[in-house]
C-alpha cells in the first residue's frame, strides 16, 4: 500500500526537487560571481534547506544529534557511512556553520544543476576513481584548503552507497591523505541510519515516513593519534552504531 501511495507523492517530490536545483543554479552563479564566497556558501545552504524541507512531503523527519561536540574554528574531517544521496543535504544544512566540502566522484562535477556548480566552485574535491594519482592530488588540495581556512570536509570511505544500510569496508587512502595534509584537523565520526529506506524501491518511487538519524560521535584530534589508531577508532564507532 505504501509503495502505491508513494507513486504520486514521489512525482510531486521530484518536480519540486528539480525546480529548486534549477532556480538555485542561477542564484549560486550570481552569488559567487557578484558577491563572493560567503554569499555563494549561503545560497548553497539555503538550497539544501529547501531540499531537506521538500523531503517532508515523503513523511521524512530528521534527528541530527551531537553537533554541540564539534569544535568551532577548527578544521574537521567528517567521516561517515553512506546510505543514499539523501545523506548530502542534511550535512550541508545542519553543518552549515562548519563550511562542509565533499570528496566526490568527478562524474558529479558536470550536468547536474546546482550540484555540479557547487562541487566545482565551492572547494570540494572531484576525484577520478580510475586515476589514483589524480584522486590523491585532489584530496591533498582539499585537505590543505580546509586546514588553512578551518573548514570541514565530508568523506564517505565506503566509496559507494551501502544497500539496505549494511556497512562496507572503509578505504584507507583518502583518509590517509586527509590525515597527512590537514594536521590541525579533527576526525569526526558520524553514523547515518535509515537514509537507505528512502531508496528502498530504487530511485522511484521513494520510501515514505522515514526518520533519518545522524549521530555525531566524539571528535578525535589528529595530533593525538597515529593514523592506524584514528582509522580503527573511527571505523569502529561508526559501524557500532549502525542499526540493523
pLDDT band at residue 109 using 50, 70 and 90 as cut-offs: confident
Write the pLDDT tens digit of every residue in 43-93: 999 999 999 999 999 999 999 999 999 999 999 999 999 999 999 999 999
Please determine, for residue 135, whether its predicted confidence score (pLDDT) is greater than 70: yes
pTM of the predicted protein model = 0.93
Region 127-148: what's the mean pLDDT? 92
* Phi, psi angles (nearest 5°) of residue 187: -80, 130
Look over the chain and give the mean of its residue pLDDT values, rounded to a whole number.
Answer: 94
pLDDT at 132: 82
User: With bands split at pLDDT 50, 70 and 90, how would you rate the model's confidence at 36?
Assistant: very high
- Which residues touch 170 (CB under 8 Å, ≥6 apart)? 157, 158, 231, 234, 235
Q: What pLDDT shows up at residue 161?
A: 65
The 3-state DSSP class for residue 215 equals: strand
The partner residues of 216 in beta bridges, in order of sequence, read 190
What pLDDT, on a 0 to 100 scale, did the predictor assign at position 4?
83
How far, in Å, are 17, 166, 174, 189 from residue 163 at the CA level?
23, 6, 22, 20
Go through the domains of the chain in sequence order and give each one's CATH number: 2-240 (3.40.1130)
Task: Flag whether pLDDT at 164 surpasses 90.
Answer: no
Residues 132, 98, 169: CA angle, nearest 5 degrees: 40
Q: Is the per-residue pLDDT at 244 higher than 90?
A: no
Amino acid at each position: 500500500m505504501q509503495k502505491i501511495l508513494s507513486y504520486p507523492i514521489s512525482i510531486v517530490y521530484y518536480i519540486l526537487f528539480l525546480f529548486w536545483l534549477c532556480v538555485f543554479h542561477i542564484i549560486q552563479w550570481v552569488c559567487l560571481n557578484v558577491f563572493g564566497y560567503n554569499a555563494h556558501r549561503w545560497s548553497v545552504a539555503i538550497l539544501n534547506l529547501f531540499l531537506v524541507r521538500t523531503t517532508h512531503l515523503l513523511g521524512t523527519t530528521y534527528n541530527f544529534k551531537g553537533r554541540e561536540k564539534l569544535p568551532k574554528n577548527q578544521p574537521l574531517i567528517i567521516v561517515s557511512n553512506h546510505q543514499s544521496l539523501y545523506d548530502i543535504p542534511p550535512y550541508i544544512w545542519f553543518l552549515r556553520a562548519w563550511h562542509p566540502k565533499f570528496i566526490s566522484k568527478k562524474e558529479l562535477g558536470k550536468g547536474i544543476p546546482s550540484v555540479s556548480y557547487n562541487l566545482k566552485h565551492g572547494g570540494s574535491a572531484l576525484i577520478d576513481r580510475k586515476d589514483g594519482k589524480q584522486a590523491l592530488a585532489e584530496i591533498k588540495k582539499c585537505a590543505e584548503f580546509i586546514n588553512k581556512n578551518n573548514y570541514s570536509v565530508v568523506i564517505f570511505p565506503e566509496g559507494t552507497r551501502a544497500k539496505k544500510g549494511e556497512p562496507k569496508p572503509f578505504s584507507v587512502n583518502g583518509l590517509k591523505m586527509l590525515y597527512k595534509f590537514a594536521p590541525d584537523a579533527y576526525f569526526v565520526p558520524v553514523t547515518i541510519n535509515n537514509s537507505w529506506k528512502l531508496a528502498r524501491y530504487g530511485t522511484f518511487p521513494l520510501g515514505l515516513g522515514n526518520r533519518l538519524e545522524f549521530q555525531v560521535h566524539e571528535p578525535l584530534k589528529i595530533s593525538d593519534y597515529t593514523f592506524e589508531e584514528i582509522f580503527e577508532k573511527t571505523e569502529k564507532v561508526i559501524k557500532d552504531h549502525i542499526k540493523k
